[in-house]
Copies of this chain bind each other. A is one copy, B any other.
Amino acid sequence: MKHKGILIVVSGFSGAGKGTLMKQLVHAYDNYALSVSMTTRDPRPGEEEGKEYFFVSKERFEEEISKDGLIEYARYCDHYYGTPREYVERQLEKGKDVILEIEIQGALKIRQKFPTALLLFVMPPNVAELKRRLEGRGTESQEVICQRLKRAAEEAEGIEQYDFIIINDKLEECVQEMHALIRAAHYTPLRNEELIENIRKELDALN
Protein backbone atom coordinates (compact mmCIF):
# COMPACT_ATOMS: atom_id res chain seq x y z
CA MET A 1 0.00 0.00 0.00
CA LYS A 2 1.24 3.45 -0.81
CA HIS A 3 0.25 5.94 1.82
CA LYS A 4 0.11 9.62 2.40
CA GLY A 5 1.74 10.46 5.70
CA ILE A 6 -0.15 10.51 8.97
CA LEU A 7 -0.14 13.43 11.34
CA ILE A 8 0.82 12.12 14.77
CA VAL A 9 0.06 14.02 17.92
CA VAL A 10 1.99 13.04 21.03
CA SER A 11 0.72 14.05 24.44
CA GLY A 12 1.43 12.79 27.92
CA PHE A 13 2.46 13.68 31.40
CA SER A 14 5.37 15.98 31.94
CA GLY A 15 8.18 13.61 32.91
CA ALA A 16 6.85 10.75 30.80
CA GLY A 17 9.77 11.18 28.41
CA LYS A 18 7.88 12.33 25.31
CA GLY A 19 10.69 14.49 23.96
CA THR A 20 13.39 11.83 24.13
CA LEU A 21 11.03 9.25 22.69
CA MET A 22 10.17 11.41 19.68
CA LYS A 23 13.80 12.28 18.99
CA GLN A 24 14.82 8.61 19.14
CA LEU A 25 11.97 7.63 16.85
CA VAL A 26 12.92 10.16 14.19
CA HIS A 27 16.54 9.08 14.54
CA ALA A 28 15.76 5.34 14.26
CA TYR A 29 13.39 5.38 11.27
CA ASP A 30 13.44 7.50 8.15
CA ASN A 31 9.71 7.88 7.57
CA TYR A 32 9.23 10.55 10.23
CA ALA A 33 9.44 14.32 10.27
CA LEU A 34 9.34 16.30 13.48
CA SER A 35 7.16 19.40 13.49
CA VAL A 36 8.67 22.38 15.28
CA SER A 37 6.24 24.72 17.01
CA MET A 38 6.24 28.49 16.84
CA THR A 39 6.16 30.55 20.03
CA THR A 40 6.33 34.12 21.24
CA ARG A 41 8.03 33.22 24.50
CA ASP A 42 11.76 33.87 24.91
CA PRO A 43 14.26 31.06 24.35
CA ARG A 44 15.53 29.40 27.53
CA PRO A 45 19.25 28.80 27.95
CA GLY A 46 20.34 26.09 25.53
CA GLU A 47 17.27 26.31 23.30
CA GLU A 48 18.01 26.86 19.63
CA GLU A 49 15.96 28.67 16.99
CA GLY A 50 14.26 26.09 14.76
CA LYS A 51 15.14 23.19 17.03
CA GLU A 52 13.00 23.44 20.16
CA TYR A 53 10.86 26.23 18.68
CA PHE A 54 10.71 28.94 16.09
CA PHE A 55 10.92 32.03 18.29
CA VAL A 56 8.95 34.92 16.83
CA SER A 57 7.44 38.24 17.87
CA LYS A 58 3.81 38.64 18.86
CA GLU A 59 3.18 40.60 15.65
CA ARG A 60 4.66 37.90 13.46
CA PHE A 61 2.63 35.23 15.27
CA GLU A 62 -0.61 37.15 14.83
CA GLU A 63 0.18 37.63 11.17
CA GLU A 64 0.48 33.82 10.88
CA ILE A 65 -2.88 33.42 12.60
CA SER A 66 -4.55 35.91 10.26
CA LYS A 67 -3.26 34.19 7.12
CA ASP A 68 -4.26 30.72 8.44
CA GLY A 69 -0.63 29.70 8.58
CA LEU A 70 -1.03 27.57 11.71
CA ILE A 71 -2.95 24.31 11.95
CA GLU A 72 -3.62 25.04 15.63
CA TYR A 73 -2.48 27.53 18.21
CA ALA A 74 -3.11 28.36 21.84
CA ARG A 75 -2.21 31.02 24.35
CA TYR A 76 -0.70 30.14 27.74
CA CYS A 77 0.65 32.53 30.35
CA ASP A 78 0.50 35.42 27.90
CA HIS A 79 2.47 33.62 25.18
CA TYR A 80 1.37 32.06 21.92
CA TYR A 81 2.27 28.53 20.85
CA GLY A 82 1.30 27.12 17.46
CA THR A 83 2.01 24.58 14.71
CA PRO A 84 3.10 26.02 11.35
CA ARG A 85 0.97 24.57 8.57
CA GLU A 86 3.30 24.63 5.59
CA TYR A 87 5.97 22.29 6.93
CA VAL A 88 3.39 19.78 8.17
CA GLU A 89 1.45 19.65 4.91
CA ARG A 90 4.54 19.44 2.72
CA GLN A 91 5.92 16.50 4.72
CA LEU A 92 2.57 14.67 4.72
CA GLU A 93 2.37 15.05 0.94
CA LYS A 94 5.84 13.51 0.67
CA GLY A 95 4.50 10.50 2.57
CA LYS A 96 6.27 11.32 5.82
CA ASP A 97 4.53 10.74 9.13
CA VAL A 98 4.73 14.08 10.91
CA ILE A 99 5.04 14.08 14.69
CA LEU A 100 4.17 16.94 16.96
CA GLU A 101 4.01 17.27 20.71
CA ILE A 102 1.00 19.08 22.06
CA GLU A 103 -1.40 18.91 25.00
CA ILE A 104 -4.92 17.57 24.85
CA GLN A 105 -6.90 20.68 23.78
CA GLY A 106 -4.54 21.15 20.85
CA ALA A 107 -4.68 17.44 20.07
CA LEU A 108 -8.46 17.52 19.81
CA LYS A 109 -8.35 20.62 17.60
CA ILE A 110 -5.91 18.82 15.31
CA ARG A 111 -8.21 15.82 15.05
CA GLN A 112 -11.10 18.08 14.00
CA LYS A 113 -9.06 19.50 11.15
CA PHE A 114 -7.25 16.25 10.28
CA PRO A 115 -9.67 13.37 10.89
CA THR A 116 -6.91 10.88 10.11
CA ALA A 117 -4.54 12.31 12.74
CA LEU A 118 -3.27 9.71 15.20
CA LEU A 119 -3.32 10.66 18.87
CA LEU A 120 -0.77 8.98 21.15
CA PHE A 121 -0.61 9.35 24.91
CA VAL A 122 2.73 8.62 26.61
CA MET A 123 2.75 7.45 30.22
CA PRO A 124 5.41 6.31 32.65
CA PRO A 125 4.93 2.71 33.85
CA ASN A 126 3.49 3.98 37.14
CA VAL A 127 3.05 7.13 39.20
CA ALA A 128 5.97 6.42 41.54
CA GLU A 129 8.24 6.35 38.49
CA LEU A 130 6.69 9.60 37.21
CA LYS A 131 7.43 11.30 40.54
CA ARG A 132 10.94 9.87 40.59
CA ARG A 133 11.63 11.20 37.08
CA LEU A 134 10.31 14.65 37.92
CA GLU A 135 12.43 14.77 41.08
CA GLY A 136 15.41 13.18 39.34
CA ARG A 137 15.76 16.05 36.92
CA GLY A 138 16.95 17.94 39.98
CA THR A 139 16.10 21.20 38.28
CA GLU A 140 12.64 21.75 39.66
CA SER A 141 11.46 22.92 43.06
CA GLN A 142 9.08 20.79 45.12
CA GLU A 143 6.37 23.29 44.24
CA VAL A 144 6.88 22.85 40.50
CA ILE A 145 6.86 19.06 40.92
CA CYS A 146 3.56 19.34 42.79
CA GLN A 147 2.13 21.51 40.01
CA ARG A 148 3.18 18.96 37.41
CA LEU A 149 1.60 16.08 39.32
CA LYS A 150 -1.60 18.13 39.60
CA ARG A 151 -1.47 18.83 35.89
CA ALA A 152 -0.87 15.11 35.24
CA ALA A 153 -4.06 14.27 37.14
CA GLU A 154 -5.96 16.70 34.89
CA GLU A 155 -4.39 15.31 31.73
CA ALA A 156 -5.19 11.76 32.82
CA GLU A 157 -8.88 12.67 32.48
CA GLY A 158 -8.49 12.88 28.72
CA ILE A 159 -6.70 9.59 28.02
CA GLU A 160 -9.78 7.97 26.42
CA GLN A 161 -9.60 10.55 23.63
CA TYR A 162 -6.35 9.06 22.41
CA ASP A 163 -5.95 6.21 19.93
CA PHE A 164 -3.16 4.44 21.74
CA ILE A 165 -1.36 4.66 25.06
CA ILE A 166 2.38 4.15 25.17
CA ILE A 167 4.05 2.99 28.37
CA ASN A 168 7.52 4.47 28.43
CA ASP A 169 9.37 1.93 30.52
CA LYS A 170 12.47 0.93 28.55
CA LEU A 171 13.27 3.60 25.99
CA GLU A 172 14.46 1.40 23.14
CA GLU A 173 11.54 -1.01 23.34
CA CYS A 174 9.23 1.92 23.60
CA VAL A 175 10.58 3.50 20.41
CA GLN A 176 9.98 0.25 18.54
CA GLU A 177 6.52 -0.06 20.01
CA MET A 178 5.64 3.49 19.04
CA HIS A 179 6.81 2.80 15.50
CA ALA A 180 4.68 -0.39 15.38
CA LEU A 181 1.59 1.49 16.59
CA ILE A 182 2.03 4.17 13.93
CA ARG A 183 2.55 1.53 11.25
CA ALA A 184 -0.63 -0.21 12.38
CA ALA A 185 -2.54 3.05 12.13
CA HIS A 186 -1.82 3.13 8.40
CA TYR A 187 -4.11 0.11 7.99
CA THR A 188 -7.40 1.57 9.22
CA PRO A 189 -10.21 1.94 6.66
CA LEU A 190 -10.36 5.70 7.30
CA ARG A 191 -6.74 6.04 6.18
CA ASN A 192 -7.30 3.91 3.07
CA GLU A 193 -10.40 5.43 1.55
CA GLU A 194 -8.93 5.56 -1.95
CA LEU A 195 -7.86 1.92 -1.93
CA ILE A 196 -11.28 0.80 -0.70
CA GLU A 197 -13.05 2.96 -3.26
CA ASN A 198 -10.96 1.43 -6.04
CA ILE A 199 -11.69 -2.13 -4.92
CA ARG A 200 -15.40 -1.29 -4.85
CA LYS A 201 -15.34 0.18 -8.33
CA GLU A 202 -13.47 -2.81 -9.73
CA LEU A 203 -15.89 -5.23 -8.08
CA ASP A 204 -18.89 -3.31 -9.38
CA ALA A 205 -17.43 -3.38 -12.88
CA LEU A 206 -17.20 -7.19 -12.73
CA ASN A 207 -20.72 -7.69 -11.42
Contacts and interface: CB of A to CB of B under 8 A. Distances in A.
A156 B203 contact: yes
Interface string A171-207: 0000001001101110111101001101110111011
Interface stretch (A25-33, A58-66, A83-91, A160-168): A160-168
Q: Which of A128, A131, A185, A188 has the most CB of B within 10 A?
A: A188
A203 B164 contact: no
B164 A127 contact: no
A3 to B, nearest CB: 12
A56 interface: no
Contacts of A77: none
Interface in A115-171: 121, 123, 126-128, 131, 146, 149-150, 152-153, 156-157, 159-160, 162-167
B165 A127 contact: no
A189 B206 contact: no
A165 B204 contact: no
A162 B189 contact: yes
22 contacts: A127-B206, A131-B206, A150-B207, A152-B203, A153-B203, A153-B204, A153-B206, A153-B207, A156-B196, A156-B200, A160-B196, A163-B188, A164-B187, A164-B188, A165-B188, A165-B192, A177-B187, A180-B180, A180-B183, A180-B184, A181-B187, A183-B184
Given A153-B200, A153-B207, A162-B189, 15 more contacts: A121-B189, A123-B199, A127-B203, A131-B206, A153-B204, A156-B199, A156-B200, A163-B188, A165-B187, A165-B189, A165-B195, A165-B196, A180-B180, A180-B184, A181-B184
Interface of A: 1, 121, 123, 126-128, 131, 146, 149-150, 152-153, 156-157, 159-160, 162-167, 177, 180-181, 183-185, 187-190, 192, 195-196, 198-200, 202-204, 206-207
